Amino acid sequence: MKNADLQQRKNAATPRGVGVMCDFYAARAENSELWDVEGRRYIDFAAGIAVLNTGHRHPKLVAAIKQQLDHFTHTAYQIVPYASYVELAERINTLAPGAFPKKTALFSTGAEAVENAIKIARAATGRAAVIAFSGGFHGRTMMGMALTGKVVPYKVGFGPFPGDVYHVPFPSALHDISTEDSLSAIQALFKSDVEAKRVAAIIIEPVQGEGGFQAAPPELMHGLRRICDEHGILLIADEVQTGFARTGKLFAMEHYDVAADLITMAKSLAGGMPLSAVCGRTEIMDAPAPGGLGGTYAGNPLAVASALAVLDVIKEEQLVERGARLGDQLKATLNELRGSVPAIGEIRGPGAMVAVEFVKPGSTEPDADFTKRVQTLALQQGLLLLSCGTYGNVIRFLFPLTIQDAVMDEALAILRQVLRAA
């Protein structure tokens, strides 16, 4: 089997709208490495877009899925329930930040979790409007696209979108957007576009994913919590990409001393199996009537088994601490390169959620061409990197937190070489 043959078949059989970064095809993978159908090896710093914090095919996840296969693969939880769903909800309720009683509902994808968080917020408040942030990403469904603050490629040609969604700027020190700018923009919305008492929720990624790994400053979270409390608005933390040890905490909201009312999670929750969740205050989660939440595959038993194993692995292998250490190692490497790579504009991100933004030397003007060169050269050297950011000028690093030390060192050596060559 050849990559070129598969590429021809892919182009003939699948639509161009499903954009694919690589022109080679996976054959097998293990922890932080994967091999294509022609036997070439790659170091995976994409991790399925932050899905594989516990690596490819962790033995404990494989064993858990196999064990569940011997019992049953599907019943539809809302038809015939099973104990593992309840156990996972209990564990998430205990682990999620917030010193108040919680409940959790399981779904299949991050976008589905976001959609349901909005449904729950509207049911709990009796309001419709939602405030989101420019640069934010919340999924590819119609409501997900409406909430997403980036037009290309996610929203082009797909409108109109659901109404009563409003965007305000997200803080960025590099681009001179302050926390005060963001909070003032919300107050301006209340004066010019939507009255506060019609707003059901404010949704925010504690660290923006597609937006370039911009972390919300603590004073922004404090300000949002204050606004929400003043006007009876719910605060939703979208932790789809930030969750499960990626930021040096199990959840990114643990970096702040305020709590969200609802948290969405997916991606690394089940280590490669499709599973998502909404966790929140008990009285809010109970707002929808019976039958208002659910889904045929929501809380699939194989995915739930994998998720329970993920939580065990994170604890047993101390991946929160390991992720923080690996992130520091990566940031140290990038900082060493500042002097010889003038295109490095900013290095940022908590824990192992690290990004580097490239600009034209001597300015803050985004340099997407340099970013593309870095990504292309790295791929040629066998290192998978993802770009992001509103201007496509950011490289984000999403290596598995289980990556072998020797492989991490090898990847950083490739990165040094590529950044200097670009």
Question: What is the Cα 202 distance to its own chain's centre?
Answer: 17
Task: Please give the pLDDT value at position 174.
Answer: 87
Report the relative pairing of strands 383-384 and 41-44 from DSSP bridges. parallel
What mean pLDDT is predicted for residues 351-379?
97
Domains of the chain by residue range: 3-57+318-421, 62-316
pLDDT at position 275 over 90: yes
The model's pTM is 0.97
Instruction: Examine the pLDDT at 293 and tell me if it is beyond 90.
Output: yes
* E runs forming strands in 45-173: 102-107, 129-133, 165-168
Q: Which CATH architecture has domain 62-316?
A: 3-Layer(aba) Sandwich (3.40)
Tally helices (H) and strands (E) across the chain: 13, 15
pLDDT over 70 for what percent of the chain?
100
pLDDT per residue as tens digits for the range 214-265: 999 999 999 999 999 999 999 999 999 999 999 999 999 999 999 999 999 9
Residue 155 in this model has a pLDDT that exceeds 90: yes
- One DSSP character per residue, 315-369 reads HHTTHHHHHHHHHHHHHHHHHHTTTT-TTEEEEE-STT-EEEEEB-TTS--B-HH
Q: Is the pLDDT of residue 393 over 90?
A: yes
The pLDDT value given to residue 303: 98
The C-alpha atoms of residue 303 and residue 213 are separated, in whole angstroms, by: 27
Mean pLDDT of 279-301: 98
Residue percentage of the chain with pLDDT more than 90: 98
Q: Calculate mean pLDDT across residues 83-111.
A: 98
Comparing 3-57+318-421 with 62-316, is the CATH topology the same? no
Q: Is the pLDDT of residue 175 over 90?
A: no
pLDDT computed for residue 261 by the predictor: 98
List, for residues 57-95, the tens digit of each pLDDT value.
Answer: 999 999 999 999 999 999 999 999 999 999 999 999 999
Whether 370 has a pLDDT exceeding 90, the answer reads yes
Average model confidence (pLDDT) across the chain: 97
Class of domain 3-57+318-421: alpha beta
